[in-house]
Amino acid sequence: MTQPIRTVTVLGATGSVGQSTLDLIERNRGAYEVLALTAHRDVAGLAASAVRVGARQAVIADSSLYGALSDALAGTGIEAIAGEEAVVDAAAAGADWTMAAIVGTAGLRPVMAALRQGKTVALANKESLVSAGDVMIAAARESGARLLPVDSEHNAVFQCFDRERPGAVRRIILTASGGPFRRASIDEMRRVTPAQAVAHPVWAMGAKISVDSATLMNKGLELIEAFHLFPLDAEQFDVVVHPQSVIHSLVEYVDGSFLAQMGSPDMRIPIAHALAWPSRMETPCERLDLVKISHLDFEAPDLERFPALALAKQVLREGGAKSAILNASNEVAVASFLDSRLAFLDIATIAYETLQEYAPPAPTSIDEVLEIDRQARRIARDLVGKCPI
């Protein structure tokens, strides 16, 4: 039977996840109608993407760029809109399927608006569950919205997890590539430069997430995300280093069975799974050659050399506002490192010290999450200023 056309909104359309989503939509033009695309400041990229997929609306978050966007879309029939509230309105427009790919806490309010519509939200905005997991999950339950994880690790778990019988699951294991310093000594890590930290051995990513991968903070934040996505206790989530990045995550069952999802390191694979779910779609992604791969390696993460992961595990166990503080302070520390104002090994130290200084109650709304985020960033910036290079 012919499937009905699915309406789509892409929040953060000009980033790598947004562009990968649009690439898949273009390859399946008859199956999707694009209601809106949003971007922060990239007028040229937004306008070109909107024209390419025939979007009804293009929304730029920076209101000062309305004129530039309007000019870029003149004669196309695509409505140009600007402002942060317009991005929230686009998220609330009721698309059947919304890609939430806005980077950072700027994505929190749009994600919440999309969840309140009771439709499907494909989640690539890490902060939504790390900083505001309890608030977001409560909103999804209230509206009946479905959350589909797009991060490769969480999407892998989603494909392997028995949602009808979660009690049969013993453990969820996220895989980590180990980053560029998997074999480096602590002395070598003290001298790490930003250029070295962003040179990821497997994935092509932005600077911030590449540094998070190098410290293994990214994997710690993903543990927190997974905790909110899958109904297990904190102690049932684990990490194993898998340098080939072929197995993206594993689910261990009580009978000793392990289910794993494998695929090339291409974000279009998990995006395609979420975009077509519960069906499947073809992708242009490179297929695995198991004979060429020949072997898969696994090892335990070294929590002494990578204290960020240990800190995230502690935050996961303690809950409350701590994950929002961890996320905010880590962002400040990573930005300071990339600006050569902080040493690589001090990134986790800044996060730890911010958590020691600031202990607000658990947030119950997005506004409270954003206030915790602001305060944590202020404290982290002060701590960076006191930290010798």
- Can you spell out the DSSP letters for 220-256? HHHHHHHHHHS---GGGEEEEE-TT--EEEEEEETTS
- Between CA 193 and CA 196, with CA 195 as vertex, the angle to 5 degrees is 65
Residue whose entry in the numeric block shows the structure tokens 């000062």 = 64
Query: Percent of the chain having pLDDT more than 90?
Result: 87
**What number is the average pLDDT over the span 368-385?**
97
CATH 1.10.1740.10 residue window(s) in the chain: 320-384
Q: What is the pLDDT of residue 2?
A: 58
Q: What is the mean pLDDT of the chain?
A: 94
Q: What is the pTM of this model?
A: 0.92
- Tens digits of per-residue pLDDT, 24-54? 999 998 999 999 999 999 999 999 999 999 9
Q: What is the pLDDT of residues 127-139, one digit of tens each?
A: 889 999 999 999 9
Average pLDDT on 181-210 reads: 84
Reading the block at residue 209, the tokens are 């997430």
Q: Which of 196, 218, 238, 216 is nearest to 340 (CA)?
A: 196
Identity of the residue numbered 18: G
Locate 18 and state its tokens.
Answer: 């947004």
Contact 284, 265 (CB under 8 A): no
> pLDDT at residue 1 above 60?
no
Count of CB atoms situated within 10 Å of the CB of 124: 31
| 3-state DSSP percent of the chain in helix, strand and coil, to 5 | 50, 15, 35
Per-residue b/e over 327-338, b at no fewer than 16 CB within 10 Å?
Answer: bbbbbbbbbbbb
Distances (CA, A) of 45 to 13, 58, 179, 344, 354: 8, 11, 30, 33, 37
What are 10's strand-pairing partners?
37, 99
Residues of the chain with CATH 3.40.50.720: 6-149
What does the pLDDT read at residue 204?
A: 59
- Match domain 320-384 to its CATH number in 3.10.20.30, 3.40.50.1100, 1.10.1740.10, 3.30.420.40: 1.10.1740.10
Q: How far is residue 238's CA from residue 319's CA, in Å, rounded to a whole number?
A: 17
Question: In CATH, what number does 6-149 get?
Answer: 3.40.50.720
pLDDT of 206 strictly over 80: no
Q: Average pLDDT, stretch 270-285? A: 95
β-pair partners for 296: none
**pLDDT 10s digits, 59-115:** 999 999 999 999 999 999 999 999 999 999 999 999 999 999 998 888 999 999 999
With 80 as the cut, is the pLDDT of residue 222 above it? yes
* pLDDT-derived band at 205, boundaries 50, 70, 90: low
| CA 42/CA 266 separation, integer angstroms | 24
Contact partners, residue 142, CB within 8 Å, separation at least 6:
116
